[in-house]
Amino acid sequence: MKSQVNEIKVSYKERITSPFWLKIQSSKDVAKMLIETWDSDTIGLHESFKVVLLNNSNKVKGIYQLSKGGITATIIDIRLLFAVVLKSLSVAIILTHNHPSGKLNASQADRDITDKIKRAAELLDIKVLDHILIAPNGDYYSFADNGLL
C-alpha cells in the first residue's frame, strides 16, 4: 500500500508590481499608510495586530492582519507571523497595532512581544524596523523613534 500524505502549497500573489510599491522612509510614512488602510469602523472598537511586509528597499509588499482581539488586547502567535513573513519572502517588517482607547503608551506587554519577535527575526535575518501604535484619531507612537527598538 502506498503512503498518503497531504500536499502543502505556499503562495504569495503580487497584484501590484514592485515599481509601484510605497517606499517607507519614516514612521510618519507608516502611520499615514496605516490610517488610510485601517478599517475606520473597527479601529476604535477592538485591537488588531498587523505586520507591514517590506522588501530590501523598504518598499511595502503588503499588510497582513495577524489577529483581531478585544477592547484592550489581542493575541499574537509569532509562528503565524513568521509563516506570513517567510511566505512573502520579506526581509524586513514593521509591527503595528491599534489602541482603541487612544492612549499611545507602550505597555509592558507591547514591549515584551516586540522583543520576542525581534529575537526570533534575528535568527532568520529579518529586520524589525519598528512597532507602531495607532490611535483612532490618526496619532501614533513609534518604538524606533522613542528608542525602544
Residue ranges of domains in the chain: 26-142
Instruction: Give the span between the Cα atoms of 85 and 70, in whole angstroms.
Output: 24
Q: Cα-flanking dihedrals φ and ψ of residue 39, to 5°?
A: -65, 110
Average pLDDT, integer, range 79-85: 94
Ramachandran angles phi, psi of 76, nearest 5°: -120, 120
d(CA 101, CA 135): 7
Among residues of the chain, what percentage have pLDDT more than 70?
92
pLDDT at 45 over 70: yes
Please give the pLDDT value at position 11: 66
**Would you say the pTM of this structure is higher than 0.85?**
yes
CATH class as words, domain 26-142:
alpha beta
User: Could you report the per-residue pLDDT of 117-147, keeping only the tens digit for each?
Assistant: 999 999 999 999 999 999 999 999 999 999 9
Separation between Cα atoms, residue 66 and residue 80, nearest integer Å: 7
State the pairing for strand pair 60-68/127-134. unpaired
- At 79, the pLDDT band (50, 70, 90 cuts) reads very high
| Per-residue pLDDT tens digits for 66-77 | 999 888 889 999
